[in-house]
Chain A
Amino acid sequence: METLLRKDRIEDVNPYLFQKIQTKISEEKKKLIPSWSVNTLRYSIIGLVLIMGLNVYSILNSNQNADSNIISQNDSYNQFIEDNHFDALSSLYPAELLSNE
C-alpha cells in the first residue's frame, strides 16, 4: 500500500506555476482598494457619527435648559405671588383673572 502511494507522489511541478502565482498576485493588487481611500472612508464615518452624537447631545441639553427655564419661571412666579405683587397690580387686572388666581 505504502509503496503504491509513494509511487503516486508527484515528482515535478508545472514550471510556469510561479509565474502564474505572480500574475495572480499582481491582478489581486490591482483589485485592492488603496488603503488611503479606506482610511478616508473610515475617518469620514467616525466624523459623521461624532457630529450626530453632538447633535443629539445638544438637542437633549437644550431640552434640559428649557425645563430649568420653566422651573426658574415658576420660582420667580411664586416669588412674585409671595411678594403680593398681584395685589399691587390688582387694579390693573381683570376681575376674572384675579378670581382664578
Chain B
Amino acid sequence: MDDIQIAQEIALGNQIVFEDFFNQHKLKVMNLCYGMVHNREVAEDLVQDIFIEIYSSAKYFKGNSKLSTWLYRIAVNKSINFLRKEKIKKFFVNIDDAKCITQSDDRADFSIEEKEKITNLYKIIDVLPSKQKQAIILFIYDELPQKEIAEIMDCSLASVEVLIHRAKKTIKIKTDKIYGNITEEG
C-alpha cells in the first residue's frame, strides 16, 4: 500500500490502517515532541493532537512528499506552537509560579550527575535558534537521515548540515563553559 492509499484509508476511517500507521511512527513522533518540550506527559498530549490532526486532514494529503515527512512536519509545527504558547504563558505568569516542564528528575535510569548534565543540555538546546533546535532534535532524538530532515524542514541538505554543525558547536562551547567553570571553582 503506497502513501496515498494509506492516507485515503485513514481518511475513510479504516482503523486498522490508522493503528498500523500509528504504531509505525509513534516512537519517532514521541521522541521528536519530547526533544522539543522535554516533558513526557506534554509530549504524549502532543502525539495525541498530531495523530488526531493526521486523521482529520488525511484527505488533503496529495502525495507531494512522503506521508512520514508530512507527519513530522505536523509534529514539528505542533511542538513549536506549544512552545510559543508556553512562552506567552510564562510572560504573564510570575516566574516563581511558572510550572517547570523539564522532567529529567523523574528518570530513574539517570545518575545525579547525568540528570544535572541533561538539564543543562535542555537549557542550551532551548536557547538555540529555532531551525538549529529542530535540526538537532530530528538528528539526535529521531535519528533521521539528513536528507529526510531537509525535506521535513523544507530546506537544502547543505543547510541541514550547517544547522546541525552549528548546533553541535554551540552546545559544545556552552557545555565546556559550564563544566570548565565548575572545575575552575572546584
Say whether A associates with B. Answer: yes
* Contact of B114 with A10 in the complex, beta carbons under 8 Å: no
A88 within 8 A of B: no
* Contact of A18 with B19 in the complex, beta carbons under 8 Å: yes
A28 touches which one: B52, B118, B140 (CB < 8 A)? B52
B72 within 8 A of A: no
Task: Report B60 CB to chain A, min CB distance, Å.
Answer: 16
A25 within 8 A of B: yes
Which secondary structure characterizes the binding site on chain A?
helix
Residues of B within 8 A of A38 (CB): none
* Contact of B22 with A21 in the complex, beta carbons under 8 Å: yes
* Contact of B175 with A1 in the complex, beta carbons under 8 Å: yes
Which secondary structure characterizes the binding site on chain B?
helix
* Contact of A17 with B175 in the complex, beta carbons under 8 Å: no
A39 within 8 A of B: no
* Contact of A4 with B26 in the complex, beta carbons under 8 Å: no
B9 within 8 A of A: no
- 26 A-B residue pairs with Cβ-Cβ distance under 8 Å, sorted by A, are A1-B172, A2-B140, A4-B117, A6-B140, A7-B114, A8-B104, A8-B107, A8-B141, A9-B141, A10-B30, A10-B31, A10-B34, A11-B27, A12-B27, A13-B30, A13-B44, A17-B26, A17-B47, A18-B22, A18-B23, A18-B26, A20-B48, A21-B48, A21-B51, A21-B55, A25-B52
A-facing residues in B171-185 (Cβ within 8 Å): 171-172, 175
Residues of A within 8 A of B34 (CB): 9-10
* Contact of B118 with A14 in the complex, beta carbons under 8 Å: no
Given the interface pairs A1-B172, A2-B140, A10-B43, the reply to whether A17 lies near B15 with Cβ below 8 Å is no
**Considering the complex of A and B, which 6 residue pairs feature the smallest CB-CB distances, nearest first?**
A5-B140, A13-B26, A21-B51, A13-B30, A10-B30, A9-B31
- List B residues at the A interface (Cβ < 8 Å): 15, 19, 22-23, 26-27, 30-31, 34-35, 40, 43-44, 47-48, 51-52, 55-56, 104, 107, 109-110, 114, 117-118, 121, 140-141, 168, 171-172, 175
* Contact of A1 with B44 in the complex, beta carbons under 8 Å: no
Please give 4 more A-B residue pairs, beta carbons under 8 A apart, in addition to A2-B140, A10-B34: A1-B175, A8-B118, A18-B19, A18-B26
